[in-house]
Structure 1
Amino acid sequence: MSPAPKKSPSKPQDRTAGQRRTLRVGVVQQPCTDDRDVNLKMSEDGIRAAAAGGARLVLLQELHTSLYFCQHESTELFDLAEAIPGPSTEFLGALARELGVVIVGSLFERRAPGLYHNTAVVLEKDGSLAGKYRKMHIPDDPGYYEKFYFTPGDLGFTPIETSVGKLGVLVCWDQWYPEAARLMALAGADVLLYPTAIGWNPDDSAEERARQRDAWVTIQRAHAVANGLPVIVANRVGFEPDPMGQWPGSQFWGHSFVAGPQGEFIAKAGEKADVLVTDVDLQRSEDVRRWWPFLRDRRIDAYNDLVRRFRD
């Protein structure tokens, strides 16, 4: 029987308020339309609101410049893709420079003719491109035909260094995989960020909707607990019909949130457009990892089978 994690002391030891590493973060939760300019204006308004509230880091949702086009397969939709650097990184970079904030955006990247990625970009507060992450886990399910559009990422699980810390940026479907979160943590990430586009089939029962959303929240809070890291999640909202009529469409459920390194909720949104602004105490990761030393007790000598598809 494994021992229970040790209880944390009532107060961090040998720390003063001036030594705490506090980061104010913003999360923009918005609906999307088929008008790129309208979508970018909503993103801009959200970023400005977060910056006005003191945020130094702002996270946008997955593919925030367009509708979630992966509900069906059409070669014409590759026209939505853009180069990185390109128009969106220039737009977000100018905002980052003007407002003095770090911005995490999510784009449909055109890497080369016939080669496309689902890519998160990080703009430094001076407007420069600090780095990018290409989505590694690509779903292919009814209403989420992403394998048609996106090549799996090839940049690995490497945090992006910024003025506010090392950002472990992952994208949507990546959020279900503990391996991705763990590898970001092992590479020194200070925080995990998940731009997301996930919703219900409108035909699902209320009970099924609740199960899906609860599972989504729980798995990401578990990544916070298992790795002793804050988690920041931005999901879109609103109903987007399938233009081909193959299925009922997606009702994106929102519920963006920020959780601390013990999975505790710091801020939560509902199912409408919203901007969250809250403080994250980065020093708590150090405290929690001292109380619950999961990284110390990992049996790295016994995990070889994790690289197998299945143990037959």
Structure 2
Amino acid sequence: MHAHKPYTLALVQMAPAETTRASVEKAADLVREAGKQGASLVCLPELFATPYFCQTEDHAHFALAEPIPGPTTQALALAAKDAKATVVIPLFERRASGLYHNSLAVAGPDGNLLGVYRKMHIPDDPLFYEKFYFTPGDLGFKRFDTPVGPIGTLICWDQWYPEAARLTALRGADILFYPTAIGWHPSEKAQYGTEQREAWMTIQRSHAIANGCYVASVNRVGHEIPPSGGDGLEFWGSSFVCGPMGTIIAEASTVLEEIILAEIDPQKVDTTRTHWPFLRDRRIDAYGDIVRRYIDEE
């Protein structure tokens, strides 16, 4: 099943530019740069084309959304073709009037779109008011077949859910992508910052171990304060790639815009799963209750 050869993966850790158009051009340039550095698979952060507008609930922000295909997917698909790479393109999707998703499209190295994933888990927390903007995804968990092998894509808040990682891995993905926008509330950073960032890395590394696959998480950087003021959010970068045993093989800084590269060997997925056969020993006959909200009665 796995005849795929090793390849180079690039994660583009970035902050948005002044305008959506400038952000998209910047991202396209970085994808081309990643291609020059040998990457055949590239992933951008969640909602990379705009500031993280979910810090406030403002109807004006719906104007930032666009259809798929649209200007952002078009520009990045073109960059994918130039880079001869498959590119994961997160964006704010306008599906219809009054219906919006936090989505991503995958473009192949020929510039064609391979499909769309819509974020399934939508958070609603202080300065992460996503339920105001996004309808939960209705496409389920996805696998995309790319020239380098099958990949799975999830988005940000999805990264805390073992069920999402498992169901995506069970579709045959060798690598799980988590484009992300996560940061510190400046007032909490001193007390909880280290713990929060470490929890974020630990849960995702654990998905790699539990599923015997690679995990790649790409975050934005920068301190973003909304026009309405306040402390804003300090995005913590730290984009990373880990192998099927959870070992980190590439990691970015907390503050710099950078492209990080990692060598991915699909054979390692096969080897790891053979020696740690979690899929073999799963008791699928005993997991029916996973679809319940809480097991409070028999």
Q: Same fold (TM over 0.5)?
A: yes
When structure 1 is superposed on structure 2, of 199-208 and 176-185 the one drifting more is 199-208
Q: Which residue of 2 aligns with 1:298?
A: 282
Q: Which residue of 2 aligns with 1:280?
A: 264
Q: Which residue of 1 aligns with 2:244?
A: 261
Q: Which residue of 1 aligns with 2:51?
A: 67
**Structure 1 runs not aligned, ≥5 long:** 1-18
Which protein is bigger by CA-based radius of gyration?
Answer: 1
Q: Which residue of 1 aligns with 2:30?
A: 46
Cα deviations by residue, 1:86-130 (Å, 9 ceiling, x for unpaired): 111110111111221111010000000000000011001000001
Q: Which residue of 1 aligns with 2:62?
A: 78
Q: Which residue of 1 aligns with 2:146?
A: 162
Contact 2:5 2:148 survives alignment (8 Å): no
Contact 1:225 1:261 survives alignment (8 Å): yes
Q: Which residue of 2 aligns with 1:115?
A: 99
Identity %: 53
Q: How many Å separate the matches in 2 of 1:195 and 1:33?
A: 18
Q: Which residue of 2 aligns with 1:240?
A: 224
2:121 aligned to 134, 137, 143, which one? 137
Contact 1:132 1:160 survives alignment (8 Å): no
Residue correspondences, number? 293
**Structure 2 runs not aligned, ≥5 long:** none
Contact 2:34 2:83 survives alignment (8 Å): no
Q: How many Å separate the matches in 1 of 2:51 and 2:189?
A: 24
**Amino acid in the other structure paired with 1:38:** A
Contact 2:101 2:137 survives alignment (8 Å): yes
Contact 1:241 1:250 survives alignment (8 Å): yes
Aligned residue for 1:108, secondary structure, equals: strand
1:25 aligned to 3, 6, 9, which one? 9
| Shift of residue 33, structure 1, vs aligned partner | 3.5
Q: How many Å separate the matches in 1 of 2:25 and 2:56?
A: 26
Contact 1:116 1:149 survives alignment (8 Å): yes
Q: How many Å separate the matches in 2 of 1:178 and 1:198?
A: 18
Cα deviations by residue, 1:149-205 (Å, 9 ceiling, x for unpaired): 000000001201222221100000000000000001111112100100000001114
Contact 1:234 1:256 survives alignment (8 Å): yes
| Shift of residue 20, structure 1, vs aligned partner | 7.2
**Amino acid in the other structure paired with 1:118:** N
Aligned residue for 1:223, secondary structure, equals: helix
Q: How many Å separate the matches in 2 of 1:155 and 1:34?
A: 32
Contact 2:24 2:76 survives alignment (8 Å): no
Aligned residue for 1:151, secondary structure, equals: coil
2:173 aligned to 164, 167, 189, which one? 189
Aligned residue for 2:241, secondary structure, equals: strand
Contact 1:30 1:42 survives alignment (8 Å): no
Q: How many Å separate the matches in 1 of 2:103 and 2:234?
A: 23
1:309 equivalent to 2:296? Answer no
Aligned residue for 2:48, secondary structure, equals: coil
Q: How many Å separate the matches in 1 of 2:42 and 2:124?
A: 29
Q: Which residue of 2 aligns with 1:7?
A: none
| Shift of residue 21, structure 1, vs aligned partner | 2.5
Q: How many Å separate the matches in 1 of 2:116 and 2:63?
A: 21
Q: Which residue of 2 aligns with 1:172?
A: 156
Aligned residue for 1:203, secondary structure, equals: helix
What value does the CA root-mean-square deviation take over the aligned residues? 1.2
Contact 1:97 1:127 survives alignment (8 Å): yes
Q: How many Å separate the matches in 1 of 2:236 and 2:26?
A: 18
Q: How many Å separate the matches in 1 of 2:289 and 2:13?
A: 39
Q: How many Å separate the matches in 2 of 1:20 and 1:59?
A: 19
**Amino acid in the other structure paired with 1:139:** P
